[in-house]
Amino acid sequence: MWALTTLLLLATLEKPILSLHPPWTTIFKGERVTLKCDGYHPLLLELRPISTLWYLGHLLLPSHKKSIEVQTPGVYRCQTRGAPVSDPIHLSVSNDWLILQVPYTPVFEGEPLVLRCRGWYDKVVYKLHYYHDGQAVRYFHSSANYTVLQARASDSGRYQCSGTMRIPVESAPMFSAKVAVTVQVLPWTRPPLPPHGPQPWLLETSRFSSESPRCPDRSRRSPPSRAPPPPGCSSRQVAPRLLGHPPALRRRPWNNRLEP
Ligand SMILES: *[C@@H]1O[C@H](CO)[C@@H](O)[C@H](O)[C@H]1NC(C)=O
């Protein structure tokens, strides 16, 4: 009985994870996306069907399924039995000729940042420019994604794209709405160390980087890899991974906020 109580208690503590498929927070009017709500359920509770509650803003949607298809803009959340409400996902629906799509999950420093400029009904976009804070940063002759292989904090800002479409003659340049992107900085990649009493993971990580040239530098990776260290790395160098993650590492889907 105690075990059952503990399991039920655990089930009540974790928020369900809300995800978006495909992962872009802006879609064209008429398109549909799938939202999925994954709760952490002890095996015991899986024996009974888990019903899910869905919210659009403050509205309760009439579905109890684990995933739903939607095409209405707004702020979505889900909830599984006994658990708190999930983090939100903001979905935008556009009527423009061009949309700039960014993933709903936040990008951490060192990870790739992919921006996707799409033409209406996936028409090819020509003379495609990507802009970062008003400056053209990339040109493509025709439709292509703009990928920053290792994003940095300085890649945060407002992005936009422009291009022409053949409808059927070539149009004047058209512009997407601007989208704000925030690249999350990990606590241990931010130099210099804080003046008063740095957190233990900062101390351990800096020691790790300076004393172990033969081992891969994990200090810029995010989230920290769970892969074992390559042969030749001593057990001392594994220490930083045993410290656990600082709470700031949790993914926060609402950070790539869309702006009209
Ligand atoms: C852009 O990226 C998406 C998702 O990774 C992919 O499906 C799409 O084909 C890419 N578009 C282009 C023009 O490369």
Ligand 1 atom 5, closest CA: 114
Task: Find the range with the poorest average confidence among 148-152, 173-177, 248-252.
Answer: 248-252
Residue 125 Cα to ligand 1 middle (Å): 13
Q: Which has more pLDDT, 207 or 47?
A: 47
CA distance 248 to 252: 9
Pocket flag, ligand 1, residue 140 (CB < 6 Å): no
Burial (CB < 10 A; 0-12, 13-18, 19+), residue 40, is: middle
Residue 211 has pLDDT above 60, yes or no: no
What are 67-81's pLDDT values in tens digits? 999 999 999 999 987
What are 225-251's pLDDT values in tens digits? 334 434 433 333 333 333 333 333 333
Query: What is the DSSP secondary structure assignment for residue 65, as one 8-state letter?
Result: S
Q: Which tokens hold the place of 69?
A: 């298809």
User: Please, are residues 176 and 117 in contact by the beta-carbon 8 Å criterion?
Assistant: yes
CA atoms within 13 A on the CB side of 15: 12
Residue 215 Cα to ligand 1 middle (Å): 34
pLDDT (0 to 100) of residue 240: 35
Residue 260 has pLDDT above 90, yes or no: no
Give the nearest ligand 1 atom to 114 CA. Answer: 2
Residue 112 Cα to ligand 1 middle (Å): 14
Structural domains of the chain in order of their starting residue, each with its CATH number:
11-93 (2.60.40.10), 96-184 (2.60.40.10)
CA distance 201 to 246: 8
Q: Which tokens hold the place of 235?
A: 């057990």
Pocket flag, ligand 1, residue 145 (CB < 6 Å): yes
User: Please, are residues 89 and 25 in contact by the beta-carbon 8 Å criterion?
Assistant: yes
Q: Residue 39: which pLDDT band, with cuts at 50, 70 and 90?
A: confident
